């Protein structure tokens, strides 16, 4: 069935890839996805979701297929692209200036359509309800929250399971990867304003130098993971941007730091956030910065929510089903990633077993030649579409059938 579908799925994939839309702007993408799912016999609703900002439209898509009594399985695909100028020189490269499907969400949508089609044609093999979700604004980690805020589960159905698939830039195309337990991190983003007292570079004793202080803070923050977190747990803190000053002989007023913290367990997350606060404030006090010039710490909105946590009951038994359907060599156990996702929100803090699988996107010839694919979010990210989509659909269908047998 999937082989029959592939030519049309590849055409759909190339169309999505050519016309990417940024987070929260997925107007045409969502309409295409909705139209295709409707044509397959699903009951489809568009513009599901509500952002907190007034006057904005949320382009969430929900497509339902009820087939007798049984569990409800939510299958989610994200729809948004990234602000990147594509450099793949593919014939179907992005035609939108400075916008690119560099995270493979076009693969995810195509996989969702393929899965929808196979499930619609195999209704004699399952019982229950398939609830397909086209989620906007994943890259801003605000689409899942927006759809839940719009009473997704009250209006359509409360799922018994939630599953999703993300492409993977290191696995061979079509190979399905699964990871029991935490498989992605909770991401927190912070801006820190390190304030001092400015003055002449030749008279530091009359100032409070925020450049030196900011440097100490950057190093101090790195001791959180190495000295405060159990070696069995993991976390990562990166200060990715540091800006301050205008001229070599002026001690400036302030330095801006931008940082991200990635954690898995909620307790570790709490500890990391509290330690960041303590170190930043404590170091400023130790440097003699007056209280009125204490650092400002802004925890940016739209954090990822909890770290996506694959329900232990889901991946392992499903892996057996996947191996049966796809073959043993096509299914591998993978390590967690420190990237983040808002898919975890669909699990309502573990009330609903949720599981995200990966599908490899790399042409095996590239792996053999030792020239791996550039990572997700690279301007040169170019999945091998045919095998990736085939593997994605196979994996998704096997997973849904296993849950709705
Ligand atoms: Zn991404
Ligand atoms: Zn992504």
**Percent of the chain surpassing pLDDT 70:** 97
The predicted pLDDT at position 372 comes to: 75
Query: How close is the Cα of 307 to the center of ligand 2, in Å?
Result: 15
> CA 372 to CA 281: how far, in whole Å?
43
Find where tokens 């699988």 sit. 357
- pLDDT bin (cut points 50, 70, 90) of residue 321 is confident
Query: How close is the Cα of 210 to the center of ligand 1, in Å?
Result: 34
Cα Rg for the chain, rounded, in angstroms?
23
CA distances (Å), 8 to each of 104, 111, 142, 299, in order? 18, 12, 31, 45
Please tell me the number of the ligand nearest to residue 167's CA. 2
Name the least confident of 16-30, 47-61, 73-87, 313-327: 313-327
Query: How close is the Cα of 377 to the center of ligand 2, in Å?
Result: 8
Across the range 79-100, mean pLDDT stands at: 97
pLDDT tens digits along 31-82: 999 999 999 999 999 999 999 999 999 999 999 999 999 999 999 999 999 9
Count of beta carbons in the 10 Å neighbourhood of residue 349: 11
- pLDDT bin (cut points 50, 70, 90) of residue 83 is very high
Query: How close is the Cα of 335 to the center of ligand 2, in Å?
Result: 17
- Per DSSP, the three-state class of 78 is strand
Query: How close is the Cα of 161 to the center of ligand 1, in Å?
Result: 23
Query: How close is the Cα of 44 to the center of ligand 2, in Å?
Result: 23
Across the range 318-344, mean pLDDT stands at: 87
Please tell me the number of the ligand nearest to residue 135's CA. 2
Query: How close is the Cα of 209 to the center of ligand 1, in Å?
Result: 38
CA atoms 278, 284, 285, 287: torsion sign = positive
pLDDT tens digits along 112-141: 999 999 999 999 999 999 999 999 999 998
Mean pLDDT of the chain: 94
The predicted pLDDT at position 180 comes to: 83
Query: How close is the Cα of 79 to the center of ligand 1, in Å?
Result: 10
> CA 71 to CA 59: how far, in whole Å?
26
Query: How close is the Cα of 104 to the center of ligand 2, in Å?
Result: 6
Ion ligand 1 contact residues with beta carbon within 5 A: 103
Query: How close is the Cα of 86 to the center of ligand 1, in Å?
Result: 15
Query: How close is the Cα of 257 to the center of ligand 1, in Å?
Result: 23
Please tell me the number of the ligand nearest to residue 105's CA. 2
pLDDT of 315 over the 70 cut? no
The predicted pLDDT at position 371 comes to: 80
pLDDT tens digits along 361-380: 999 888 888 887 788 999 99
The predicted pLDDT at position 387 comes to: 96
* 58 in Cβ contact with 26 (< 8 Å): no
**Percent of the chain surpassing pLDDT 90:** 83
Query: How close is the Cα of 141 to the center of ligand 1, in Å?
Result: 10
Query: How close is the Cα of 103 to the center of ligand 1, in Å?
Result: 5
> CA 377 to CA 335: how far, in whole Å?
20
Query: How close is the Cα of 184 to the center of ligand 1, in Å?
Result: 12
The predicted pLDDT at position 313 comes to: 67
Query: How close is the Cα of 96 to the center of ligand 1, in Å?
Result: 18
């Amino acid at each position: 069935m999937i082989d029959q579908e592939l030519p049309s799925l590849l055409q759909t994939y190339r169309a999505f890839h050519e016309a990417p839309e940024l987070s929260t702007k997925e107007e045409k993408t969502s309409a295409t996805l909705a139209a295709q799912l409707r044509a397959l016999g699903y009951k489809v609703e568009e513009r599901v979701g509500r952002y907190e900002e007034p006057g904005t439209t949320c382009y969430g898509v929900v497509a339902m297929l009820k087939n007798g009594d049984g569990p409800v399985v939510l299958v989610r695909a994200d729809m948004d692209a990234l602000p990147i100028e594509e450099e793949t020189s593919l014939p179907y490269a992005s035609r939108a200036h400075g916008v690119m499907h560099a995270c493979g969400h076009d693969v995810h949508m195509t996989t969702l359509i393929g899965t929808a089609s196979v499930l619609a044609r195999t209704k004699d093999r399952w019982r229950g309800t398939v609830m397909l979700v086209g989620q906007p604004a994943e890259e801003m980690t605000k689409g899942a929250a927006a759809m839940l805020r719009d009473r997704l589960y009250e209006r359509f159905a409360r799922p018994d399971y939630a599953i999703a698939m993300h492409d993977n830039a290191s696995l061979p195309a079509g190979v399905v990867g699964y990871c029991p337990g935490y498989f992605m991190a909770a991401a927190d983003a912070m801006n820190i304003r390190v304030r001092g007292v400015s003055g002449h570079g030749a008279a530091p004793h009359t100032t409070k130098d925020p450049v030196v202080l900011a440097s100490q803070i950057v190093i101090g923050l790195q001791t959180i993971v190495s000295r405060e977190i159990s070696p069995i747990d993991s976390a990562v803190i990166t200060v990715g941007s540091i800006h301050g000053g205008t001229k070599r002989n002026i001690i400036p007023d302030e330095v801006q730091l931008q940082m991200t913290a990635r954690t898995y367990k909620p307790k570790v997350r709490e500890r990391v956030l509290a330690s960041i606060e303590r170190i930043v404030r404590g170091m400023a006090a130790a440097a003699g910065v007056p209280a009125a010039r204490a650092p400002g710490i802004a925890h940016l909105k739209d954090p990822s929510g909890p770290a996506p946590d694959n329900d232990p009951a889901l991946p392992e038994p499903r892996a057996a089903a996947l191996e049966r359907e796809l073959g043993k060599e096509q299914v591998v156990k993978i390590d967690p990633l420190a990237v983040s996702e808002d898919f975890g929100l669909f699990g309502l803090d573990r009330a609903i077993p949720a599981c995200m699988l990966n599908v490899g996107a790399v042409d095996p010839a590239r792996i053999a030649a030792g020239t791996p694919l550039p990572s997700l979010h690279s301007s040169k990210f170019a999945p091998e579409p045919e095998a990736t989509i085939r593997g994605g659909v196979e994996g998704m269908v096997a997973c849904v059938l296993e849950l709705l047998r």
